[in-house]
């Protein structure tokens, strides 16, 4: 049985709750129209279809649209290697859906990360607390309306309570490039259309003066 066949089994079981399976680059996904039913669907997928491994739970910020959040569950059947994705939407006003930790224990940290970074709550999670940011931090850094430079917090004496070193902007990214590092959002050098930043150029200069050769990135002639 293929991933598509198993997705169709979900559709047969839950009817209009499940969308027709879609395929993109060989990957199968279905949409669950009511996020309150996500645990029921996941339970069936594990018990009846063999999806015994929760690879990941991720979140998408559809900033400007309603519903704002899309939660994506990436499932795998370890016996035959089949994979499917379950997607469901949650409104910003609600920002809450059931936890699936009762189906896969590994959902624990995945759900905590989404709670920490996006502010989406998972009802029934036994220990829903921040996993990367400190308790009391008032923002959610992966939301699209969170500035790349960061925000100051009102927690004196706490690490990283000031804007990050990337403050300044505007930040842009350029398609292509020789590495993932070169494609990261950076401050564009006004005089050129290159992808290097002022800070990277300064670092290159410091390295050249100190050592006569570059450590990274790009070529600099030896003294």
- Quick count: other Cβ atoms within 10 Å of Cβ 147? 14
For 105-147, the pLDDT digits (tens) are 999 999 999 999 999 999 999 999 999 988 888 899 999 988 8
For residue 37, pLDDT beyond 60: yes
As a whole number, the mean pLDDT across the chain is 81
- For 8, the token pair is 């169709």
Give the per-residue SS3 of the chain.
Answer: CCHHHHHHHHHHHHHHHECCCEEECCEEEEEECCHHHHHHHHHHHHHCCCCCEEEEEEEEECCCCCCCEEEEEEEECCCCCCEEEEEEEECCCCCEEECCCCCCCCHHHHHHHHHHHHCCEEECCCCCCCCCCCCCCCCCCCCCCCCCCCCCCCCCCCCCCCCCCCCCCCEECCCCCCCCCCCCCEECCCCCCCCCCHHHHHHHHHHHHHHCCCCCCCCCCCC
This model's pTM is above 0.75: no
Q: What are 46-81's pLDDT values in tens digits?
A: 999 999 999 999 999 999 999 999 999 999 999 999
CATH 3.30.460.80 in the chain, residue ranges: 3-123
Q: Cα separation of 174 and 125, whole Å?
A: 40
pLDDT of residue 217: 45
What CATH class has 3-123? alpha beta
Task: Kindly give, in sequence order, each residue whose CB lies less than 8 Å from that of residue 82, ignoring residues fewer than 6 positions away.
Answer: 1, 2, 3, 6, 50, 51, 76
**Statement: residue 220 has pLDDT above 50:** no
Residue 194's pLDDT band, with cuts at 50, 70 and 90, is: very low
**What is the model's pLDDT at position 33?**
97
Q: Is the pLDDT of residue 196 over 50?
A: no
């Amino acid at each position: 049985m293929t991933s598509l066949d198993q997705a169709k089994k979900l559709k047969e079981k839950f009817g209009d709750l499940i969308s027709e399976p879609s395929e993109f680059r060989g990957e199968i996904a279905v949409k669950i129209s009511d996020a309150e039913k996500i645990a029921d669907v996941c339970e069936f997928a594990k018990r009846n279809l063999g999806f015994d491994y929760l690879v990941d739970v991720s979140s998408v910020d559809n900033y400007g649209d309603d519903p704002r959040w899309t939660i994506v569950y990436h499932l795998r059947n370890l016996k035959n290697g089949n994979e499917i994705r379950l997607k469901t939407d949650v409104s910003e006003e609600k920002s809450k859906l059931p936890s699936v930790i009762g189906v896969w224990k590994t959902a624990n940290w995945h759900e905590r990360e989404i709670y920490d970074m996006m502010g989406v709550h998972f009802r029934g999670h036994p220990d829903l607390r921040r996993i990367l940011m400190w308790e009391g931090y008032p923002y959610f850094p992966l939301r699209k309306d969170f500035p790349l430079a960061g925000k100051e917090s009102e927690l004196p004496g706490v690490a990283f309570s000031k804007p990050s070193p990337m403050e300044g902007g505007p930040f842009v990214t350029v398609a292509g490039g020789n590495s993932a590092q070169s494609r990261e959002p950076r401050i564009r050098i006004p005089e050129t259309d290159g992808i290097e930043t002022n800070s990277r150029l300064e670092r290159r200069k410091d390295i050249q003066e100190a050592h006569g050769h570059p450590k990274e990135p790009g070529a600099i002639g030896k003294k």
